Structure 1
Amino acid sequence: MSSKLERLQEEIRQQLGEALLGMRADLGELTIDLAAASYVQACTQLRDAPALRFEQLMDLCVVDYQGYGDGLREGARFVVVLHLLSVSLNQRVRVRVGCADDELPVVASINPVWNAASWYEREAFDLYGVVFEGHEDLRRLLTDYGFIGHPFRKDFPVSGTVEMRYDPEARRVVYQPVSIEPREIVPRVVREAGYGDLPRERNQPGA
């Protein structure tokens, strides 16, 4: 581990204190886990502390851990992940915070800390159903306003829940339950016996 990464780890420990639930350095990258109750405060410290100065939010996304590790993983199902960059100090950190309730995942909005988070949080709400408390305009961003469910969740059906078609009598597009029967397609590789074998005469000595 580089001395720069070690210094960053120590500085984060000092600055975040009990808000820091865990930290791991792997492949030259640092990942930290934050307590949901201290999420916004800790992010503010990551931005403002002179030795950290993570002034830029590069990305915000959500991970659905349902079934991860054959279901043996412990912890929150939905985890919000941030990627932060300090332009001035040339350092990066990955931040994770879990949503306490798997049925209704809620976490505070960090839009007041980095205003670039606004559309990222709307996208995460749309695709995963994570509610960002305090967001001023939390609406769907990619799916239609009448869309049902959150399509990036692992339990969302591949065929969806509704389909739309043009109704010539109503003269408009209407929604109806999806007519595709759910099925699971397992790829199969079918080969003839001896596929890829060399001709017999080539295997003979002196051939």
Structure 2
Amino acid sequence: MSKLDTLKLALETALGGKIQNIKTALGEVTLQVAAADYLAVAKILRDHSELRFEQLIDLCGLDYSTYCDGAHEGARYAVVSHLLSVNKNWRLRLKVFCPDDAFPCVAALTPVWNSANWFEREAFDLFGIIFDGHEDLRRILTDYGFIGHPMRKDFPTSGHVEMRYDAEAKRVIYQPVTIEPRDITPRIIREDNYGGL
């Protein structure tokens, strides 16, 4: 039995009916659970003697609105965590979909792994995903007055506002975007002797 098969069996034994989907691809195991079970599953993954995932090494948000050219059916937003067990020397990808697209929300993992703190703030800032139970959920990369969430697929590439330093006012000011959207078509100009041929 391979190491990944051992991990899958341990997950199935420890989690049982809490598993929505489990698959192995490219040498990695991905476990999908329901939002209602997310926090409980995280605690089991950390504390169960056969799993022992002591470290959360990454957490990110995902927007599936244009996945497969819009052919994706199901919830729009997901949260993916990457876990590491130093004790067992294996990794796991934990995925959960937010049940409500209009108000994407899942439980915070900061009570289980405090390393989730800044990752959850980043996912909140960039995707607008709320982490219920997070003690300090505020923007981390964009300005506090920033409108919207820039990693959402429907966020305009040019943004909503731009900022610049005004020498007369001696401060940074915000103004509507002055960039006109345009299609950029690359032009390739090659000489007759291109490449020395």
Q: What's the TM-score, normalizing by structure 1?
A: 0.87
| Cα offset, 1:3, TM superposition | 1.9
Q: Identify the residue that residue 29 of structure 2 maps to in structure 1.
A: 30
Shift in CA distance, 51/188, structure 1 to aligned 2, threshold 3 Å: farther
Structure 2 residue aligned with 1:172: 171
**Paired amino acid for 1:105:** P
Matched, 1:53 2:55: no
Report 1:89-104 matches (<5 A). Answer: 89-104=88-103
Q: 1:184 to 1:77 in 2, by over 3 A?
A: farther
Q: Partner of 1:148 in structure 2?
A: 147
How far, CA to CA, are the matches of 1:190 and 1:19 in structure 2?
Answer: 58
Larger Rg: 1
Match of residue 133 from structure 1: 132
Distance 1:59 1:179 in 2: 37
Give the gaps of 5 or more residues in structure 1. 199-207
Q: Distance in 2 between matches of 1:13 and 1:163?
A: 50
**AA partner of residue 40 (structure 2):** Q
Q: Distance in 2 between matches of 1:139 and 1:133?
A: 12
Aligned AA for 1:5? Answer: L
Task: Please name the residue that 2:109 is paired with.
Answer: 110
Letter of the 1:92 counterpart: R
What is the CA-CA distance between 1:157 and the residue it aligns to? Answer: 1.1
Q: Hey, what's the Cα distance between the residues in 2 that align with 1:195 and 1:165?
A: 42
Q: For the residues of structure 2 that align with 1:188 and 1:23, how far apart are their CA atoms?
A: 46
Distance in 2 between residues matched to 1:72 and 1:141, nearest whole Å: 32
Q: Distance in 2 between matches of 1:25 and 1:64?
A: 22
Whole-angstrom CA distance in 1 between matches of 2:26 and 2:166: 55
What is the TM-score normalised by the length of structure 2?
Answer: 0.92
CA–CA distance in structure 1, aligned partners of residues 189 and 22 of structure 2: 47
Q: Amino acid of the residue matched to residue 108 of structure 2?
A: S
Identity across matched positions, percent: 60
For 1:104 and 1:187, locate their aligned partners in 2 and report how far apart those are by CA, in whole Å. Answer: 39
Q: Which has the larger displacement, 159-168 or 131-140?
A: 159-168
Once the 2 structures are TM-superposed, how far is the Cα of residue 12 of structure 1 from its aligned partner?
0.5
1:182 to partner: Cα distance:
2.1
CA, structure 1 residues 170+193, in 2 after alignment: closer, same or farther (shift >3 Å)?
closer
Distance in structure 2 (CA, Å) of the matches to 1:125 and 1:185: 31
Aligned to 1:14, what secondary structure does the other structure show? helix
For residues 163 and 176 of structure 2, what CA distance do their matches in structure 1 show? Answer: 9
The separation in 1 between residues aligned to 2:26 and 2:105, in whole angstroms, is 31
SS at match of 1:6: helix
| Structure 2 gaps, min length 5 | none
Runs (4 or more) in structure 1 with deviation over 6 Å come to 192-196
One-letter amino acid of the counterpart of residue 75, structure 1: G
Q: Give 1:33 shift.
A: 0.4
Distance 1:187 1:74, change over 3 A: farther
Q: What is the one-letter code of the residue matched to 2:84?
A: L
How many pairs are equivalent? Answer: 197
